[in-house]
Amino acid sequence: MTDAQPSLSADIRKREISYVIKMSIRVVCLILAVTVPAPVWVRALLIGGAVLLPYLAVIGANERGKDLPPPQDMDGANQNEIPRHRREIGS
């Protein structure tokens, strides 16, 4: 096991698969809403899913690295950093 973050291509692939699954469910909801004789509330539920799922799919696809650890605190003094009063060249 390692603490290494997943590669960018693995992260993109995971988000692509999630997007395709959500959009496939949307298509199924839309087809069922139009073709299946069902009560009005069932059709409304299917149409609601067909309208809401694209939003959720895009938000999920653009949510990059939610499993990644938070960035390190950069406020603390870094031993390799040049002191602020010595940043100019030739000082």
How far is it, in rounded angstroms, from Cα 69 to Cα 19? 23
Q: How many domains does the chain have?
A: 1
Q: Does some domain include residue 13? A: yes
Domain holding 19, by residue range, is 9-65
Q: Does some domain include residue 3? A: no
Nearest to 16 by CA among 45, 44, 58: 58
Q: What is the pLDDT of residue 24?
A: 94
Q: What is the pLDDT of residue 68?
A: 55
- 9-41: string of b/e by CB count within 10 Å (b at 16+)? eebeeebeeebeebeeebeebbebbeeeeeeee
Give me the mean pLDDT over the 34-50 stretch. 92
Q: Does some domain include residue 90? A: no
The whole-angstrom distance between residue 84's C-alpha and the CA centroid of its chain comes to 38
Is the model's pTM score more than 0.75? no
Q: Does some domain include residue 19? A: yes
Q: Does some domain include residue 29? A: yes
**Residue with more model confidence, 3 or 14:** 14
Q: What is the pLDDT of residue 77?
A: 54
Q: How confident is the model at residue 7 (pLDDT cuts 50, 70, 90)?
A: confident
**Residue with more model confidence, 6 or 9:** 9
- Burial, 57: exposed, middle or buried (Cβ in 10 Å; 0-12, 13-18, 19+)? buried
Any idea how long the chain is? 91
Q: Does some domain include residue 83? A: no
